Structure 1
Amino acid sequence: MRRLGLAAAAVVAAGALAGCASDGPARPTARESASGPPSTSVTPSTTSTPTTTQGPAQDPTQEPTQDLGEPLPWGPTVGELAQAHEIVAAMTAGELAGQVIVGRYAGTDPSVAARLVRRLHLAGVCVTNDNVVDADQVRATTRAVTRAAHHDGRDFPAVIGIDEEGGTVSHLRGIATDFPAFEDAGLAIGQHERRGRQVVQQAAYATAQELRAFGFSWVFAPDADVTIGPADVTIGSRSPSSDPKLAALAVGAAVRGYDDAGLVSTIKHFPGHGSATVDSHRTLPHIDASMRRLEHRDLRPFARGIDAGAPAVMVGHLDVEAMAPGGPSSVEPKIYDYLRDDLGFEGVAITDSLGMGAVAGIPDLGVKALEAGADLLLMPADTTTMHRVVKRAVEDGTLSRDRVEDAAARVVALQLWQASASQDDPLPADPAKVAENAEAASAALREAAYGS
């Protein structure tokens, strides 16, 4: 792979966007304060009406200039996305196939994860509790993966992700701070909206700083599912609320907290797993709600998260009758079309784990997901086989190289953003302070949810 570094961003982007100039800030501040006005309704995107204000005459033959430092709605700047397109255009088919896969690996040896990333040119890996021993071993793993990506010719961070939602879903239990389940976020906001949103945002910020201190660049949280209660056998307390408004506010606050700390967050499991009565880890759930019901309940937290600047959305494995009957949603173009066209999402669409029972036995699963609109394939059952299948599909034209380049460019742009955003929010010099802040944020969330 041709090495393109962070220092070359302005040069590469200027070449991709001829005549562009940057006179704006290199990095935006937080997208929205926690006390900003909520927007929890699902409204399809529409074409904007051109302004009628009289302005200076422009030469119609001159291309409009773009500010390379202008942030896109999902985080990266115009320049970072342009740089990402330059990077992926220079990739071989094997490198390109790897850049749209986040792999799984067995065991606790950091070198195993590192070799997988370098050999298959993977975007990165997902670390689970099966890969974890203690704090030192976790840091050794993230360092090894980071070095592997660098040795593969990359000057942007690897995707080093983890499910760290709080409550029952914590793959760093006993190592990182014990945050409560995300249902406490909805409870806190229900008790006092303004204060609740502040503590939720702070909890996400503290979680993100702690994960960054361990070497992670992504978190597969927050959960945006609206639970239906006891019949919901999978999500439960992972959901912020059974009330769509509270769930939406919690998701928006959490996204801003992660974003402020320079960690990539992922709202999940689109278009909503909270009403599923079977577990997609085992089989394909059928969602029979009407479209009106989905828009009123399930989709509202996703709309709110996207409005707050969510950089990534995880698409679940669901048979959603009103949107794409038959499913699974992770390989259905109509699902991605709704996400992009109706909700206006421009960031990275990542599948739920491709090793789950709901998608078992589907031929060419990764190719189908990419064709449908996915940008990143999460944890295939066999990472090496998935890479080989995607690489072959790109080489023989079964899968459009343009489609895969578009997907990979989003992933790379987000990693360029992560590198820059984390520099803008440096971690405390004393590691103990990171843990202290996380403990305080966890306690504040519990207190806001239940009172003292």
Structure 2
Amino acid sequence: MIDVEKILVEMTLKEKIAQMYLQYYQGYDDLPQNLRELNRKNLLGGLIFFSGNNVRDIDQLHDMTKKIQSYAKENKYNLPFLLTIDQEGGQLTAIFNGTTIFPGNMSMGFANDENLAYLQGKHVGRELKYAGINICYAPVLDVDYDVKNGSYVVDNRRFSTDPEVVANMGSAFIRGLEDEGILACGKHFPGMRITKVDTHFQVDRNPYDKKRLENVEILPFKKAIEKGVSCIMTHHGIFEALDKDYPASLSKKILTYLRKDLGFEGLIVSDDLIMKAILNEYGEKESIKLAINAGVDLIISTCAGNWFIDYVYGCVIRGEIEQLRIDESVRRILNYKNKSDAGNIPDQKTFDSTYGQELSAKIASKGLILYKGDEDELAIKMEEKDKLGIIFANPARLVMSDATNLYDISFKDIIMSKGYHKNIKEAIMPWHPTDEEIISLADVGIISEVLIFTTVNAYNFQRQIEVLKEFRKSCPTKKVISIATRSPMDAKILAEYSDYVIITGGLTPSILEGVANVIFGKEKIEFNKAKEFFCK
């Protein structure tokens, strides 16, 4: 155990500041020498890992984090490091190989099962414990509310349009993670709304009044705090009802509200300050000063370098940041290093991968929605000689938050591996098919007895629907099963040209397996009327 008060007395100001900065590097095997040297000077507190920069698979990450934590003995205080990562499930699953790929938050929200959410959190917690992770930047507690005002759902990272469902699913997942010793991190406080404005590129100004914010956006965070969430990540949007001038990540008013009004005592983590909503307006250094003064404990700024410590030190010396503010954060950080048992990484896996796959399949199946079609007419009947056509919308990265590598996923392979059918023609459909590609893709349906047609945000990339229209010119009566694999908003558009429309809430192997089971009759699917709202 870390003797927090003793170490705080002994630490220099620079050593304290170092605890607040989550360093970032590219590498898969070891800490780079510059970070090892900082550690020897007692100037390394924690790290943030990214899927493309630090992770090949869970065993590689386990070996690397073991090595990293062994360097704790090289600093004066034998302080372990906070090791952090995004492992939400679905499209943002940073540790992709060797872990269970869960369907994602929207699928879980459709399932609306607190026990399943808890069990997922618990299983992910065991995986992360073996991987050496202390903080998981999950779950997303934002609400898909603004669909009610005409904004489209772009991705699958949010549980629901219903704040209560978000609160219940998120809090259950948090309990599962924390029961396994992983610090859960709800995000993005006070609640990222659905808007075309992406804070990776520009700031969003939220116009809603305080009552609306507390009834919708803030409600899931309030419940998560009541259930003991350890960390909360801030949003880079401006919330006019709380602070007209500064985005939440830099707002003392908003973070004081989080502490005083909502009673949050855990770690406040900034979202990456390199995002242009912050960087363009405040610059890379000023934003760090503002975030610390606002009350942020752990700073993520992947554009910052070794200058971070000296810069913040100078701010304190000049009176621009109070040392008390630094001491508050460092005391909290050290206490949470104790809570997470940082530095203690098990040698052996304590999770059951087979159980994880079964749990993922159960969530995926319960989260499917039959938007159009008679479930009693499933399964489809196909002779061995019949050709099944699949037009599979490109599953590649669509938004900045996508981290999973789904480029190699194939619905054809999944159907064949389950033994449902062998005579299959599958073609990948671009998000913006050309006139020539539209004709070529339609041919896949024309030469087939049954067509499975998937979309990726066809409400926006409308030329995907032109493929279905082209096919229907020649084949007005052939059976078409359409699948909205990304945004549920595609369902209404697909219904006009399809016999069946299925909403998945995500695009992962377990989801496609669940869809295959439904199409070929292994599982029945129920349409919960409460879920209709997404698709109106």
Q: TM-score range by the shorter chain?
A: 0.7 to 0.9
Q: Which moved more, 1:271-280 or 1:292-301?
A: 271-280
User: Structure 2 CA distance, aligned partners of 1:377 and 1:149?
Assistant: 21
TM-superposed deviation, 1:235: 7.0
Does structure 1 retain, via aligned residues, the 8 Å contact 2:250–2:294?
Answer: yes
Does structure 2 retain, via aligned residues, the 8 Å contact 1:210–1:435?
Answer: no
User: Structure 1 CA distance, aligned partners of 2:153 and 2:333?
Assistant: 28
TM-superposed deviation, 1:309: 0.2
Instruction: Figure out how many residues of one structure are paired with residues of the other and give that number.
Output: 362
Distance 1:89 1:402, change over 3 A: farther
The equivalent residue for 2:192 is: 273
TM-superposed deviation, 1:392: 2.2
Distance 1:273 1:85, change over 3 A: farther
Does structure 1 retain, via aligned residues, the 8 Å contact 2:130–2:348?
Answer: no
Q: Which amino acid aligns with 1:166?
A: G
TM-score normalised according to structure 1 size: 0.74
**5+ unaligned residues in a row in structure 2: which ranges?**
369-513, 515-522, 524-536
The equivalent residue for 1:410 is: 332
**Residue 264 in structure 1 maps to residue 183 in structure 2:** yes
Does structure 1 retain, via aligned residues, the 8 Å contact 2:57–2:96?
Answer: no
Q: 1:385 aligns with which of 304, 307, 318?
A: 307
Q: Which moved more, 1:253-262 or 1:381-390?
A: 381-390
Does structure 2 retain, via aligned residues, the 8 Å contact 1:117–1:125?
Answer: no
Larger RCO (CA under 8 A, 6+ residues apart):
1
The equivalent residue for 1:244 is: 163
**Which runs of structure 2 are paired with 1:219-238 in the superposition (5 Å)?**
219-228=136-145, 236-238=155-157
CA shift digits 1:33-73 (9 cap, x unpaired): xxxxxxxxxxxxxxxxxxxxxxxxxxxxxxxxxxxxxxxxx
Q: 2:294 aligns with which of 372, 376, 380?
A: 372
User: Structure 2 CA distance, aligned partners of 1:234 and 1:268?
Assistant: 18
Does structure 1 retain, via aligned residues, the 8 Å contact 2:184–2:229?
Answer: yes
CA shift digits 1:337-387 (9 cap, x unpaired): 110111111111111111211110414221211111111111341232222
**Which runs of structure 2 are paired with 1:310-321 in the superposition (5 Å)?**
310-321=229-240
User: Structure 2 CA distance, aligned partners of 1:151 and 1:110?
Assistant: 15
Q: Which amino acid aligns with 2:170?
A: V
TM-superposed deviation, 1:147: 2.1
**Which runs of structure 2 are paired with 1:93-132 in the superposition (5 Å)?**
93-112=13-32, 114-115=35-36, 118=39, 121-129=43-51, 130-132=53-55
TM-superposed deviation, 1:137: 2.9
Q: Which amino acid aligns with 2:137?
A: F
Secondary structure at the counterpart of residue 436 of structure 1: helix
TM-superposed deviation, 1:174: 2.7
User: Structure 1 CA distance, aligned partners of 2:209 and 2:318?
Assistant: 40
The equivalent residue for 2:252 is: 333
**Residue 173 in structure 1 maps to residue 96 in structure 2:** yes
Distance 1:136 1:288, change over 3 A: same
User: Structure 1 CA distance, aligned partners of 2:126 and 2:28?
Assistant: 23
The equivalent residue for 2:372 is: none
Distance 1:392 1:224, change over 3 A: same
User: Structure 1 CA distance, aligned partners of 2:367 and 2:232?
Assistant: 26
User: Structure 2 CA distance, aligned partners of 1:100 and 1:141?
Assistant: 22
User: Structure 2 CA distance, aligned partners of 1:391 and 1:143?
Assistant: 31
Bigger share in strand: 2
User: Structure 2 CA distance, aligned partners of 1:443 and 1:349?
Assistant: 34
User: Structure 1 CA distance, aligned partners of 2:303 and 2:191?
Assistant: 23
User: Structure 2 CA distance, aligned partners of 1:210 and 1:112?
Assistant: 25
User: Structure 2 CA distance, aligned partners of 1:161 and 1:103?
Assistant: 10
Q: Which amino acid aligns with 2:11?
A: M
CA shift digits 1:117-148 (9 cap, x unpaired): 61572321111012223344322321232123
Q: Which amino acid aligns with 1:198?
A: N
Secondary structure at the counterpart of residue 265 of structure 1: strand
TM-superposed deviation, 1:318: 0.8
User: Structure 2 CA distance, aligned partners of 1:145 and 1:117?
Assistant: 13
User: Structure 2 CA distance, aligned partners of 1:232 and 1:380?
Assistant: 31
**Which runs of structure 2 are paired with 1:66-145 in the superposition (5 Å)?**
83-112=3-32, 114-115=35-36, 118=39, 121-129=43-51, 130-145=53-68
Distance 1:235 1:393, change over 3 A: farther
CA shift digits 1:414-449 (9 cap, x unpaired): 1101118x98xx96x863744334323322322332
The equivalent residue for 1:29 is: none
Q: Which amino acid aligns with 2:138?
A: A
**Which runs of structure 2 are paired with 1:414-433 in the superposition (5 Å)?**
414-419=336-341, 431=349, 433=351
The equivalent residue for 2:450 is: none
Distance 1:397 1:437, change over 3 A: farther
User: Structure 2 CA distance, aligned partners of 1:154 and 1:305?
Assistant: 33
Q: Which moved more, 1:86-95 or 1:157-166?
A: 86-95
Distance 1:233 1:116, change over 3 A: farther
Q: Which amino acid aligns with 1:416?
A: N
Q: 1:208 aligns with which of 121, 125, 144?
A: 125
Does structure 1 retain, via aligned residues, the 8 Å contact 2:22–2:45?
Answer: yes
State, as a whole percentage, how many aligned pairs show the same letter.
26
User: Structure 2 CA distance, aligned partners of 1:157 and 1:143?
Assistant: 11
Does structure 2 retain, via aligned residues, the 8 Å contact 1:156–1:416?
Answer: no
Does structure 1 retain, via aligned residues, the 8 Å contact 2:126–2:351?
Answer: no
Q: Which amino acid aligns with 2:8?
A: V
User: Structure 2 CA distance, aligned partners of 1:285 and 1:440?
Assistant: 40
User: Structure 2 CA distance, aligned partners of 1:263 and 1:340?
Assistant: 22
Distance 1:209 1:96, change over 3 A: same
